Amino acid sequence: MIIELGHFFLALALSISIFQFLLPALGVKFNSYGMMRSASITAFISFILVFLSFLSLVYAYITSDFSVSLVAKNSHSLKPLIYKISGVWGNHEGSLLLWVLILTFYSAAVAILGRRLPLKLISLVLSCQGLIAVAFISFILFTSNPFIRLFFPNIEGEGFNPILQDFGLAIHPPFLYLGYVGLSVTFSFSIAALLIGKVDTIWVKWVRPWTLIAWVFLTVGIALGSWWAYRELGWGGWWFWDPVENASFMPWLAATALLHSSIVAEKRDTLKAWTILLAIIAFSFSLLGTFIVRSGVLISVHSFASDPSRGLYILLLLIFFTGGGLALFAKKAPYLKSGGLFKPLSREGALVINNIIFASAAATVLLGTLYPIFIDAINNSKVSVGPPYFEAVFIPLMVPAILLCAFSPMLSWKRAVIENIIERIIAVFICALFLASIIIIMNDGSASAFLGLFLGFWLICGTLYEFFIKVGIKLSFKIFIQRALNLPRSAYGMSVAHIGVAIFIIGVTVSSAWRIDIEKPIILGEKTIVKDIEITFKSIKRVTGPNWNADRGEFEIITSNRDKHFLYPERRFYPASQVNTSEPAIMSGIFSDLYIVLGESRDNSDSYALRIYYSPFISWIWFGILLMAIGGVLSLSDRKHRLGYDLKRV
Amino acid sequence: MNRAKIKRRKRLSILLLGFIAISTSGFLILSASRDSLIFFYSPTELMEKQDIAEKVIRIGGLVREKSIISKGQLKIEFIVEDGENHILVYYVGMLPDLFREGQGVICEGKMGKNGIFRANKILAKHDEKYMPPEVADALKKTGKWKGVEEKNDY
């Protein structure tokens, strides 16, 4: 009964969304106050309906109602509660329902927080959101209905892919979708602005917080996915340039460009057309990402859902929203009024270069991701684009971006004078060169490691230097602290995010340059030494978990300063799905991770395959990404970025 | 057209040009360096290919029943087949969790002169119901495709 209610609510949400799309649009056309006002109400009702519908599916999972086809296929009564719940979005139908839930949530939030915005603008924004909701809800109802019952209910569920039983992955899709779908808000704002034909700095002020929110969630979502891949896949890697990873990375690159261009649009009233174009592109990348993951057109280590008819539907949606957005842009953009002019050497100029680089990076990732489809279409051969391509194009693009990032905040708006900052640049350069050289000489590093470290230090030194100058130098300690505390939070946000980038670069560089991989057979009781760390294979035991049993190895680790630890890698077997998995054991530290994977025993002897990774500084990668997200949150908490901030009171 | 408008249009076109220039160079890198492209062949397709020595390629098919031979010290040999032809694969290292007889597999490596494929990477998918799309295609080509189109969730 509850499932049927959920189904009904979703169908109802579709009709409400049609009203949410039509009424405010007609209201704007015929200048009807009531019709425009209705948008906030329909948006809110639509959210409540989708939420109830989603809850009913959650209920079916929690109670293990195996008469529901989706639950029977993807759940199992023995699964721990949290994975029963995360199982709701661990499949195609449920994850789309989550997508729509987040979409309607954002619409409702825009409706509530945007009360003070001009009625015409907010009506058009909600109308556009309504159209997206119509498209996706009908997609769910007509091609991927999660509420279908089985004629003969199953006694037990068919289980769940055990590799997905992980906390990081349980919360990865909601974060990623909050990011993806958050970009729909910026998209709708852009469409509304194009329709009205006016983009001013106030408009940018309203849009920027939404971009920031989407960007923060996207950043965290990608980090969670990569953290999961690192801990669970047993390859010790954290990024594989896999199509599904690229699908989330492209909108991130576009959103990052958008964040930076909207600074210029807000402060200097220029680059507005470009900002709008980026907003359209960023959301298109979100849709493309959904298409890539959901259609299975691309070969991926993730082995995701694949169904051509669903893929075709999303492809049509993608063409409709992207094509429609770009066509509207082409028609209306030339009429947007532009403001401040600037010289190439200025803060604006630096941000323009940042934008060119990020947009190009997104384009090259797009090219590498879609290339196999072209090749398949042209000469029917299967091909995959490997990491060498992505590394060859991506790294050279990012080097100038990082070089620029350290000193562009020191440049003044409109027209910068190079003489004013040249001394600072030299100081930062020497400092970074010195630090990177010391580390390279002491640890015998390669040229590419040197480049990575130099960039990391360059960005840290530059950002700190800029921060001190902004507060004021040659001040007494007390006044310095006082002035530092008075800085707007967005200033902190920028510095923290940039330092996060630097820490990320250092983590990537050090962990790849000084990583040690060992793969060898090991016999019970055998000792092996990796980089002053003694690893002894003590024992192997049979253990039982909630829905699996495992061979658990016990490894004694003695570090160079004689600390003793134990690691327990497992080879698990899930009877429900007849699947083996290996659970790596990781000793994680600030300066290094020791990562052990226990392999299969061959020839039924005491000899097991063993894989050991020693990765220095690898946790800095996620710490850096976390700092970027914290920077975003700090910026968001700045008074001027408050959502729906009443500008009349300024 | 006023000056500001011209200037703005110029600026937008500079932006777009820079963007196009860099993307084109990415395309050139991709088409020029064949190393970053890894082609996939089934054992049957491999028979017809001549120019693949010393190139990293992927092959895929089913692991033949009872063909896995352990040679000690993590060395292993097995046969990959697509129903018509087969190829012997040699690999040193740990095997993925879902590697087993009768299952679909993809091996990345180089073709040896002795006709043995030396794999340096074995890819088996996370889900045991899953058949790599290329392998499924290859099996369909040789008419040995038995399974229904499995849908994979996640």
Does residue B15 sit in the same domain as residue B74?
no
Q: Tell me the C-alpha distance between A160 and A14, whole Å.
A: 30
Query: Residues A166-191: what's their mean pLDDT?
Result: 91
Does A352 reach chain B within 8 Å, measured CB to CB?
yes
Query: Residues B19-41: what's their mean pLDDT?
Result: 72
Which pLDDT score, from 0 to 100, does residue A52 have?
97
Say whether A363 and B19 touch across the interface (CB within 8 A).
yes
Does residue B45 sit in the same domain as residue B110?
yes
Nearest CA in chain A to B41: A382
CATH of the domain at B136: 2.40.50.140
Does residue B15 sit in the same domain as residue B45?
no
Does A309 reach chain B within 8 Å, measured CB to CB?
no
Are A238 and A302 a contacting pair, CB within 8 Å?
no
Say whether B151 and A306 touch across the interface (CB within 8 A).
yes
Q: Nearest CA to A50 among A181, A168, A172?
A: A181
**Predicted confidence (pLDDT) at residue A167 exceeds the cutoff of 50:** yes
Does A34 reach chain B within 8 Å, measured CB to CB?
no
In a domain, B153, yes or no: no
- Residue B37's pLDDT band (cuts 50, 70, 90): confident
Which pLDDT score, from 0 to 100, does residue A425 have?
92
Whether ipTM exceeds 0.90: no
Does A623 reach chain B within 8 Å, measured CB to CB?
no
Say whether A382 and B37 touch across the interface (CB within 8 A).
no
Nearest CA in chain A to B4: A338
Chain B contact set for A57 (CB, 8 A): none
Q: Tell me the C-alpha distance between A472 and A479, whole Å.
A: 9
Task: Return the H-helix or E-strand segment holding A541.
Answer: strand A533-544
Chain B contact set for A355 (CB, 8 A): 15
Q: Tokens in use for B27?
A: 């395309």
**Predicted confidence (pLDDT) at residue A89 exceeds the cutoff of 60:** yes
Does residue B42 sit in the same domain as residue B62?
yes
Mean pLDDT of chain A: 88
pLDDT tens track for A10-50? 999 999 999 999 999 999 999 999 999 999 999 999 999 99
Which pLDDT score, from 0 to 100, does residue B117 have?
92
**Predicted confidence (pLDDT) at residue B7 exceeds the cutoff of 70:** no
Nearest CA in chain B to A391: B36
In a domain, B149, yes or no: no
Q: Cα A260 to chain center, whole Å?
A: 17
- Residue A417's pLDDT band (cuts 50, 70, 90): confident
Residue of higher predicted confidence among B15 and A501: A501
Which pLDDT score, from 0 to 100, does residue B128 have?
44
Q: Tell me the C-alpha distance between A307 and A294, whole Å.
A: 8
Strands ordered across the beta sheet of A592-601: A516-523, A607-616, A592-601, A585-588
Nearest CA in chain B to A583: B97
The vertex-A293 CA angle with B23 and A138, nearest 5°, equals 115
Query: Residues A328-343: what's their mean pLDDT?
Result: 79
Chain A contact set for B124 (CB, 8 A): none
In a domain, B152, yes or no: no
Chain A nearest-CA distance from B34, in A, is 9
Q: Tell me the C-alpha distance between A503 and B112, whole Å.
A: 43
Query: Residues A434-442: what's their mean pLDDT?
Result: 95
Which pLDDT score, from 0 to 100, does residue A643 have?
56
In a domain, B154, yes or no: no
Helices (H), A333-386: 347-379
Which B positions 10-69 lie with beta carbon below 8 A of chain A? 11-12, 15, 18-19, 22-23, 25-27, 29-30, 33, 35-41, 58
Say how many Å lie between the first and final Cα of chain A, rounded.
Answer: 53
Does residue B30 sit in the same domain as residue B43?
no
In a domain, B148, yes or no: no
* CA distances from residue A443 to A446, A510, A512, B9 in whole angstroms, order as listed: 9, 10, 14, 51
Q: Tell me the C-alpha distance between A192 and A119, whole Å.
A: 11
Q: Tell me the C-alpha distance between B144 and B43, whole Å.
A: 13
Chain A nearest-CA distance from B78, in A, is 14
Which pLDDT score, from 0 to 100, does residue A442 have?
92
Does A384 reach chain B within 8 Å, measured CB to CB?
yes
Query: Residues A567-576: what's their mean pLDDT?
Result: 87
Say whether A74 and B153 touch across the interface (CB within 8 A).
yes
Q: What is the DSSP string of B58-123?
A: EEEEEEPTT--EE-STTEEEEEEE-SS-EEEEEEESPPPTT--TTSEEEEEEEE-TTS-EEEEEEE
Q: Name the phi and psi angles at A123, rounded to 5.
A: -65, -45
Which pLDDT score, from 0 to 100, does residue B105 have?
86
pLDDT tens track for A230-257? 888 777 788 988 888 899 999 999 999 9
Cβ-in-10-Å burial (0-12, 13-18, 19+) of B64 comes to middle
Chain B contact set for A302 (CB, 8 A): 126, 154
Which pLDDT score, from 0 to 100, does residue A650 have?
37
Length of chain B: 154
Does residue B26 sit in the same domain as residue B48?
no
Say whether B30 and A302 touch across the interface (CB within 8 A).
no
Query: Residues A453-458: what's their mean pLDDT?
Result: 97
Which pLDDT score, from 0 to 100, does residue A613 have?
93
Does A370 reach chain B within 8 Å, measured CB to CB?
no
Q: Tell me the C-alpha distance between A53 and A147, whole Å.
A: 10
CB count, 10 Å around CB of A26?
A: 15
The rounded percent of chain A whose pLDDT value lies above 90 is: 51
Chain B contact set for A375 (CB, 8 A): 37
E-assigned strand segments in A559-619: 564-567, 570-574, 579-583, 585-588, 592-601, 607-616
Which pLDDT score, from 0 to 100, does residue A180 have?
93
- Residue B30's pLDDT band (cuts 50, 70, 90): low
What count of CB pairs under 8 Å joins A to B? Answer: 157
Which pLDDT score, from 0 to 100, does residue A307 have?
58
- Residue A474's pLDDT band (cuts 50, 70, 90): confident
Does B121 reach chain A within 8 Å, measured CB to CB?
no
Does residue B127 sit in the same domain as residue B90?
yes
Say whether B9 and A334 touch across the interface (CB within 8 A).
yes
**Predicted confidence (pLDDT) at residue A502 exceeds the cutoff of 50:** yes
User: In this structure, are strands B117-123 and B86-92 parallel, antiparallel, or unpaired?
Assistant: parallel
Of A454-458, A490-494, A570-574, B76-80, the one with minimum mean pLDDT is A570-574
Nearest CA in chain B to A573: B97
Which pLDDT score, from 0 to 100, does residue A364 have?
87
Say whether B97 and A580 touch across the interface (CB within 8 A).
yes
Does B109 reach chain A within 8 Å, measured CB to CB?
no
In a domain, B74, yes or no: yes
Nearest beta carbon to residue A305 from set B11, B35, B153: B153
Which pLDDT score, from 0 to 100, does residue A566 have?
94
Does residue B9 sit in the same domain as residue B60?
no
Chain B interface, mutation test: which of A161, A382, A399, most B Cβ atoms within 10 Å? Answer: A382
Which pLDDT score, from 0 to 100, does residue B143 have?
63
Q: Cα A291 to chain center, whole Å?
A: 16
In a domain, B150, yes or no: no
Q: Tell me the C-alpha distance between B46 and A642, whole Å.
A: 61
Chain A nearest-CA distance from B35, in A, is 8
CB count, 10 Å around CB of A306?
A: 21
Chain B contact set for A519 (CB, 8 A): 74, 93-94
Are B36 and A367 a contacting pair, CB within 8 Å?
no
Does residue B20 sit in the same domain as residue B51?
no
Chain A contact set for B39 (CB, 8 A): 381-383
Are A358 and A255 a contacting pair, CB within 8 Å?
no
Which pLDDT score, from 0 to 100, does residue A624 have?
97
Residues 6 or more apart in contact with residue A532 via CB below 8 angstroms: A559, A560
Which pLDDT score, from 0 to 100, does residue B53 have?
72
Chain B contact set for A360 (CB, 8 A): 18-19, 22-23, 26
Nearest beta carbon to residue B18 from set A164, A356, A519: A356
Say whether B27 and A386 touch across the interface (CB within 8 A).
no
pLDDT tens track for A340-399? 777 778 898 899 889 988 988 998 899 888 888 877 777 777 788 888 888 888 888 899
Q: Which domain holds residue B63?
A: 38-141
**Predicted confidence (pLDDT) at residue B127 exceeds the cutoff of 50:** no
Number of independent structural domains in chain B? 2
Mean pLDDT of chain B: 75
Q: Nearest CA to A33 among A130, A120, A152, A160?
A: A120
pLDDT tens track for A276-318? 999 999 999 999 888 787 766 665 444 434 556 677 787 888 8
Chain B interface, mutation test: which of A360, A374, A596, most B Cβ atoms within 10 Å? Answer: A360
Q: Tell me the C-alpha distance between A199 and A204, whole Å.
A: 8
Which pLDDT score, from 0 to 100, does residue A457 have?
97
Nearest beta carbon to residue A161 from set B35, B123, B126: B126
Query: Residues A53-77: what's their mean pLDDT?
Result: 91
Chain A nearest-CA distance from B102, in A, is 14
Helices (H) and strands (E) in chain A, counts: 18, 11
Cβ-in-10-Å burial (0-12, 13-18, 19+) of B145 comes to middle
Chain B contact set for A388 (CB, 8 A): 33, 35-36
Does B113 reach chain A within 8 Å, measured CB to CB?
no
- Residue A80's pLDDT band (cuts 50, 70, 90): confident
Say whether B133 and A296 touch across the interface (CB within 8 A).
yes
Cβ-in-10-Å burial (0-12, 13-18, 19+) of A61 comes to buried
Residues 6 or more apart in contact with residue A206 via CB below 8 angstroms: A114, A117, A189, A644
Q: Nearest CA to A539 among A558, A523, A518?
A: A523
Query: Residues A99-119: what's their mean pLDDT?
Result: 94
Nearest beta carbon to residue A611 from set B94, B97, B98: B94
A333: DSSP letter: G
Chain B nearest-CA distance from A359, in A, is 7
In a domain, B42, yes or no: yes
* CA distances from residue A211 to A217, A245, A259, A518, A625 in whole angstroms, order as listed: 10, 21, 7, 43, 17
- Residue A116's pLDDT band (cuts 50, 70, 90): confident
Chain B nearest-CA distance from A555, in A, is 18
Q: Tell me the C-alpha distance between A334 and A326, whole Å.
A: 13
Nearest beta carbon to residue A383 from set B23, B40, B70: B40
pLDDT tens track for A521-550? 888 889 999 988 999 999 899 999 887 889
Does residue B31 sit in the same domain as residue B42?
no
Q: What is the DSSP string of A209-253?
A: HHHHHHHHHHHHHHHHHHHHHHHHSSSS-S----HHHHHHHHHHH
Of A213-217, B32-36, B43-47, the one with minimum mean pLDDT is B32-36
Nearest CA in chain A to B56: A386
Does residue B15 sit in the same domain as residue B77?
no
Does residue B15 sit in the same domain as residue B44?
no
Task: Return the H-helix or E-strand segment holding A275.
Answer: helix A272-295
